[in-house]
Amino acid sequence: MDKAKTFLKSFPSRLVFLPGLLSRITLGFIFVQTGWGKLHHLDKVTEYFRALGIPAPGLQAPFVATVELAAGGLVLVGLFTRLAALPLIGTMVVAILTAKRPDIHELSDFLALPEFLFIVLSLWLVVKGAGAFSLDAFLCRRCGKTAVLLPPGK
């Protein structure tokens, strides 16, 4: 009975890595998918950016598509995660200010935006890093360093 009780008490702490891992993989996958889609429909994305009044849509559309694909891929595998999350935050801020602003009438509208959630998750990655199951962690273990890529003590 004591073994079962001990196991049940320690079980949640054994899964402490899981929410971060799932969040990172989900966010990375979403951005890889959207970046890939934009790259394969650049003409439509360029026209959409033009309709939104985004300056230089012919340059911005491939730039945003490439940022989403590349940074999303880095986040997905957990490589240079803290840096890769920053441009993703930027693209979501621009998306909110251009495409989503007309849909925001009150705070709850803003907080319900998927783009806002992506900003929150990306910010969390900037602060916390990729976690133990990532290429960042693997490289840190190989180099014997923990400073920038992992939280203290990991």
* Structure confidence at residue 147 (pLDDT): 45
Give pLDDT tens digits for 15-73.
888 988 999 999 999 999 999 999 999 999 999 999 999 999 999 999 999 999 999 99
Strand blocks (E) in 9-89? none
Residue 89, classed as helix, strand or coil, is helix
Confidence of residue 146 (pLDDT cuts 50, 70, 90): low
Structural domain spans, the chain: 17-143
Stretch 115-138: mean pLDDT, rounded?
A: 94
Stretch 103-126: mean pLDDT, rounded?
A: 97
Question: CA–CA separation, 95 vs 61, rounded Å?
Answer: 12
- Alpha-carbon torsion (89, 92, 98, 100), positive or negative: negative
* Structure confidence at residue 7 (pLDDT): 72
How much of the chain is in helix, strand and coil states, percent to nearest 5?
75, 0, 25
Give pLDDT tens digits for 78-90.
999 999 999 999 9
